Amino acid sequence: MRTSVAFLALLRLVSALDDLNIYTDNSLASGWENWSWNTEIDFSATDLFAGSSGTSISISSGAWAALSFKLGQGTFADYAGLRFEVAGNQPEIQIIFQSTADDSSSPAVPLSEISKTIVGTEFTSALIDFKALPGSGSPLPAGTWDRITFQSFGNGASYHLDNVVLVPEITITPEILSVEPVTSNVVAVTTKGEVDLSTVGIILNGKSVKVSGISNYSPPDTPAKQISYITLASPFAPGTLEFCSLERPSSPTHSLKPRRAGAFPFLTSSVTAGARTPINPLIYGVNFPKSAQYIKTLGVTVSRWGGNAVTAYNGLDGHFTNAGNDWFFENRVANEGSADDWIGWVKGAGSESLLTVPALDWVAKDATSYSYPKSIYPWYEQSRFDPYNPDAGSGQFPNGTAVTPNPDPTTVYTGWNTTSAKNSQAIDNEIEIAHSTHQDMHPEPVGYDEELKRVVDFAVATKEALPGVEVMAPSTCSWWFYWTSAIGWTDTAAHGNVDFLPWFLQQMKLTERTYKKRLLDYLDIHYYFQPDTSKNDDTAKALRLRMTRSLWDPTYVDESWVGTDPQNHQTDPGTVKLLPRMKKLIADNYPGTKLSVSEWSSTNDGDLTGGLVTVDALGIFGKYGLDAATYWATPDEMGPVGLAYWLYRGFGTVFGNWGVPVNVNGLDPNTQGIYASTDNSGKISLVVVNKSPTASQAFDLTGVPAGKYFLRHFGGGAGIAKWQTNVTLSSNRYIVVPPYTAAFLQQQRLDYLSK
Ligand SMILES: *[C@@H]1O[C@H](CO)[C@@H](O)[C@H](O)[C@H]1NC(C)=O
Ligand SMILES: *[C@@H]1O[C@H](CO)[C@@H](O)[C@H](O)[C@H]1NC(C)=O
Ligand SMILES: *[C@@H]1O[C@H](CO)[C@@H](O)[C@H](O)[C@H]1NC(C)=O
Ligand SMILES: *[C@@H]1O[C@H](CO)[C@@H](O)[C@H](O)[C@H]1NC(C)=O
């Protein structure tokens, strides 16, 4: 019997507020002030306007400039949203709400999150709901908001606005956004507005299935969307699932394609210590976490202070740094402030810290100097200048080569040596590419011998200053430099044609004899996937999702230049199989050294597939025994990559520290990843990632105990949010994961093990 779904009529709350006009015609509404900058504005433009008569605002902003409105008195915090009409060729702008009382700002809302089809010939209506900001879905935080800023990005923007109004209420049309089967007997329905699911029909293979319960959940940081978990009285089976409501008879439908023969042999009787391999918790690290709360939300285990600006970080006086070629070789106060303070709060939040020690000869001397002023390197000799400081140049001729002569380092730097380097753990960042990122202070390419000498000198100094410290080096930036130096193949040839990393390991082993102690604790590399996924179309997304195989798979030829022109003297040069390869290099050349990846990236922090790649990679890091890893750089905790960390470790509920082998017959690593673990008590956690964009996947988990599990998931039709609930896995252990979804299941009660 198909029953119907009733939609609750939405109550329109009677609001005490009226619309608050900011602009309708000719000038700003009374009570509003013009706080714009670097922007040409016409408040009575007649070339284009919304409606049948009147005027609009025409705006032409330079890079990072803005049209900005300030409410003269009071705040608009009680309004429900901002409505406006916009015309322009998809202007590259973002909208920010600000409080002049306490100088705070809301998260920026890129206009592209509201619409991607804005044209210059007519106006498009836009609405920002303060309960669910476009893009993140998070509410506008509480604040004394009194200013609205339309800021252009780096390319500037020209556009028109009309009818800019704060509205007292926004009516949400109730809507079912997605319906998906998940785990063994739960149908997850995401909704917005007030949808009543008290009477639904679920039909599995043509037969109505009894509903045994419904629980609702709204993620605290995206409360405008809800999920209802509809628990069925009987478990899923292969076939077709239909969800019925009056409005949408038998729609949408889902095919369950079973993968039988899958097995978790380890769990059939008991978990044996012999089958388990340790998972190092330090693999769940990031560079520069935002705050203590961020560390707890995502369960960040190690926080790295790294990147190009760190090479010139002067921690002794003033916490200055130099941006290198990332930003016109300008000095500034380090964004993160004092490294000592940073270590303190990071530790207080429960994370280890990984600090990069400058290992070149100079660090920034102040907050304001820069290496290439116009007075010394005239405008016609330099390719670009800083838009905020037109005197600071790029240090490059228009043809891209470095200007000459090289600047006097003392204009921006002060000397640095091993005496200065105390209280620190890692030995510099990518110094093998210092000649380009820091051409101003180190114009010569760094070769094998110089790199080794710098690592040894600073490792000795650091270990003297902090006896318990562990040293990670050489933090080599990419596949190319794993095997040679910036000098190139002549340098490799001069070192017996031994590729750089094996040579480096051999030399560090020799230094252990000289210094009577280990100077290198971790072989540290950076790993950036080389395949080109920048188009981010379906083909690029599928490539992104399967290229995690380069981390482990001996049969996967890298789908980039690495696969065809691998540039090294190693066996199987084009199959990256990064973790097994590096572990073998260590075993062959300096056994006992740990392995870390202090920079890596999913290749797209904003796309769901970047989050799924991160889930897969973190599973692989654990399974293949990586000792530490830190993501580059700081994933947004609300975005897909942040959610991957939350999935494994959020809010203290963590994937186990013992990896357990999973055997699934015919597992397709291009579209599937399954990782299992136990904690010290034997409680099981599973992470399953379904990388298929369209197909639900089901696994017959022989050996996984029936019983209560805590479920977290993100992606698929449910979207990018922190969804979670409790489920019961029935004894048939047939679990389903929706398309483009990552799920975490953690056993709640060990006494179910025996059942
Ligand atoms: C608004 O401010 C901008 C930037 O200061 C200025 O160029 C513009 O003339 C102002 N417009 C009006 C109408 O005051
Ligand atoms: C780049 O331009 C500079 C200045 O005109 C010149 O000295 C140099 O030879 C050029 N380099 C190349 C590679 O063309
Ligand atoms: C580092 O430089 C300082 C200041 O010039 C000097 O006193 C110190 O001896 C140097 N240390 C080393 C190891 O060269
Ligand atoms: C899951 O169950 C636990 C323990 O009974 C409870 O504390 C928690 O709130 C539940 N979580 C959800 C999302 O329902």
Index of the ligand 3 atom closest to the CA of residue 419:
11
What pLDDT was estimated at residue 206?
Answer: 82
Calculate how far, in angstroms, residue 27's C-alpha sits from the geometric centre of ligand 1.
11
pLDDT tens-digit map of 573-619? 989 999 999 999 999 999 999 999 999 999 999 999 999 999 999 99
Calculate how far, in angstroms, residue 39's C-alpha sits from the geometric centre of ligand 1.
7
Structural domain contains residue 402: no
CATH number at residue 483: 3.20.20.80
> For residue 496, what are its two tokens?
């017996």
Quick one: 688 and 563 in the same domain?
no
Quick one: 116 and 85 in the same domain?
yes
Structural domain contains residue 372: no
Quick one: 166 and 179 in the same domain?
no
CA distance to 9, 199, 209, 230, 241, per residue, from 3 (Å)? 19, 6, 11, 15, 15
CA atoms within 13 A on the CB side of 277: 14
Quick one: 12 and 121 in the same domain?
yes
Cβ neighbour number for residue 63 with a 10 Å cutoff: 13
DSSP assignment of 127-140 equals: EEETTB-TTT-PPP
Distance CA 267, CA 705 (A): 8
Index of the ligand 2 atom closest to the CA of residue 400:
1
What b/e sequence results for 375-391 when a residue is b if at least 16 CB atoms lie within 10 Å of its CB, and e otherwise? eebeeebbeebbeeeee
DSSP at 194 = -
**Helix H or strand E encompassing 344:** helix 339-348
Lowest-pLDDT range, 236-245, 438-447, 473-482? 236-245
Quick one: 696 and 601 in the same domain?
no
What pLDDT was estimated at residue 466?
Answer: 77
Structural domain contains residue 397: no
Index of the ligand 4 atom closest to the CA of residue 725:
13
**Which of 196-210, 224-238, 494-508 ranks highest by mean pLDDT?**
494-508
pLDDT higher than 50, residue 250: no
Calculate how far, in angstroms, residue 746's C-alpha sits from the geometric centre of ligand 4.
12
The label of the residue with tokens 């785990």 reads 183
Lowest-pLDDT range, 127-131, 165-169, 395-399, 551-555? 395-399
pLDDT higher than 80, residue 255: no
pLDDT tens-digit map of 175-226? 888 888 899 899 999 999 888 887 778 888 888 899 999 999 999 999 999 9
Index of the ligand 1 atom closest to the CA of residue 40:
7
CATH number at residue 128: 2.60.120.430
399 lines ligand 2 (CB under 6 A): yes
pLDDT higher than 60, residue 287: yes
In this prediction, what percent of the chain has a pLDDT beyond 90?
Answer: 64
Index of the ligand 1 atom closest to the CA of residue 35:
2
Rounded to the nearest angstrom, the gap between the alpha carbon of residue 604 and the centroid of all alpha carbons in its chain is: 7
Structural domain contains residue 296: yes
Q: Is the CB of residue 632 less than 8 Å from the CB of residue 310?
A: no
Structural domain contains residue 81: yes
401 lines ligand 2 (CB under 6 A): yes
Q: Is the CB of residue 570 less than 8 Å from the CB of residue 578?
A: no
Test site for ligand 3: of 314, 362, 419, 464, most ligand atoms within 8 A of the Cβ: 419
What pLDDT was estimated at residue 59?
Answer: 98
DSSP at 369 = -
Number of domains the chain contains? 3
Residues constituting the chain? 755
Quick one: 124 and 188 in the same domain?
no
327 lines ligand 2 (CB under 6 A): no
Which of 155, 172, 189 corresponds to the end of one domain?
172
CA distance to 424, 546, 547, 617, per residue, from 531 (Å)? 34, 10, 8, 16
3-state secondary structure of 646: helix
Distance CA 670, CA 469 (A): 40
More confident site: 526 or 309: 526
34 lines ligand 1 (CB under 6 A): yes
User: With bands split at pLDDT 50, 70 and 90, how would you rate the model's confidence at 520?
Assistant: very high
Test site for ligand 3: of 414, 417, 420, most ligand atoms within 8 A of the Cβ: 417
Q: Closest ligand to 217 CA?
A: 4
pLDDT tens-digit map of 60-96? 999 899 999 999 999 999 999 999 999 999 999 999 9
Structural domain contains residue 645: no
pLDDT tens-digit map of 576-587? 999 999 999 999
3-state secondary structure of 732: coil
- Which strands sit side by side in the sheet containing 522-528, from one edge to the other? 426-427, 352-357, 302-305, 285-287, 628-631, 594-601, 522-528, 472-476
- Report the 3 state secondary structure along 260-311: CCEECHHHCCCCCHHHCEECCHHHCEEECCCCHHHHHHHCCCEEEECCHHHH
Calculate how far, in angstroms, residue 401's C-alpha sits from the geometric centre of ligand 2.
7
Quick one: 163 and 205 in the same domain?
no
User: What radius of gyration, in Å, describes the C-alpha atoms of the chain?
Assistant: 29
**Which of 149-158, 357-366, 378-387 ranks highest by mean pLDDT?**
149-158
In degrees and rounded to multiples of 5, residue 450 shows phi and psi of -65, -40
Distance CA 183, CA 750 (A): 19
pLDDT tens-digit map of 397-445? 999 899 999 999 999 998 888 777 764 545 555 555 555 677 887 888 9
Index of the ligand 4 atom closest to the CA of residue 215:
14
Which of 172, 202, 229 corresponds to the end of one domain?
172
Q: Closest ligand to 725 CA?
A: 4
Index of the ligand 1 atom closest to the CA of residue 43:
13
What pLDDT was estimated at residue 574?
Answer: 87
Q: Closest ligand to 712 CA?
A: 4
pLDDT higher than 80, residue 54: yes
In degrees and rounded to multiples of 5, residue 266 shows phi and psi of -60, -25
pLDDT higher than 70, residue 142: yes
pLDDT tens-digit map of 688-725? 999 999 888 887 777 778 889 999 999 999 999 999 99
> In terms of DSSP bridges, do strands 109-110 and 93-99 run parallel, antiparallel, or are they unpaired?
antiparallel
Quick one: 610 and 736 in the same domain?
no
Quick one: 145 and 238 in the same domain?
no
What pLDDT was estimated at residue 267?
Answer: 34
Quick one: 569 and 614 in the same domain?
yes
Distance CA 507, CA 755 (A): 55
Residue ranges lining ligand 3, Cβ < 6 Å: 415, 417-419
Strand partners, 68: 149
Test site for ligand 4: of 183, 726, 728, most ligand atoms within 8 A of the Cβ: 726
Structural domain contains residue 644: no
Which of 172, 187, 203 corresponds to the end of one domain?
172
The label of the residue with tokens 């369960």 reads 299
Structural domain contains residue 648: no
Calculate how far, in angstroms, residue 389's C-alpha sits from the geometric centre of ligand 1.
22
Q: Which of 388, 275, 284 is nearest to 332 (CA)?
A: 388
User: With bands split at pLDDT 50, 70 and 90, how would you rate the model's confidence at 464?
Assistant: confident
The label of the residue with tokens 């599990």 reads 709
- Report the 3 state secondary structure along 507-557: HHHHHHHHHCCCCCCEEEEEEECCCCCCCCCHHHHHHHHHHHHHHCCCCCC
* pTM recorded for the entire structure: 0.86
**Domain limits for position 100:** 2-172
User: With bands split at pLDDT 50, 70 and 90, how would you rate the model's confidence at 268?
Assistant: very low
Distance CA 454, CA 266 (A): 47
36 lines ligand 1 (CB under 6 A): yes
Residue nearest to atom 1 of ligand 2 (CA): 399
User: With bands split at pLDDT 50, 70 and 90, how would you rate the model's confidence at 107?
Assistant: very high
Q: Is the CB of residue 533 less than 8 Å from the CB of residue 604?
A: yes
Q: Closest ligand to 651 CA?
A: 4
Quick one: 467 and 612 in the same domain?
yes
What b/e sequence results for 444-472 when a residue is b if at least 16 CB atoms lie within 10 Å of its CB, and e otherwise? ebbbbebbbebbbbbbbbbbeeeeebbbb
> For residue 318, what are its two tokens?
């003033």
In this prediction, what percent of the chain has a pLDDT beyond 70?
Answer: 90
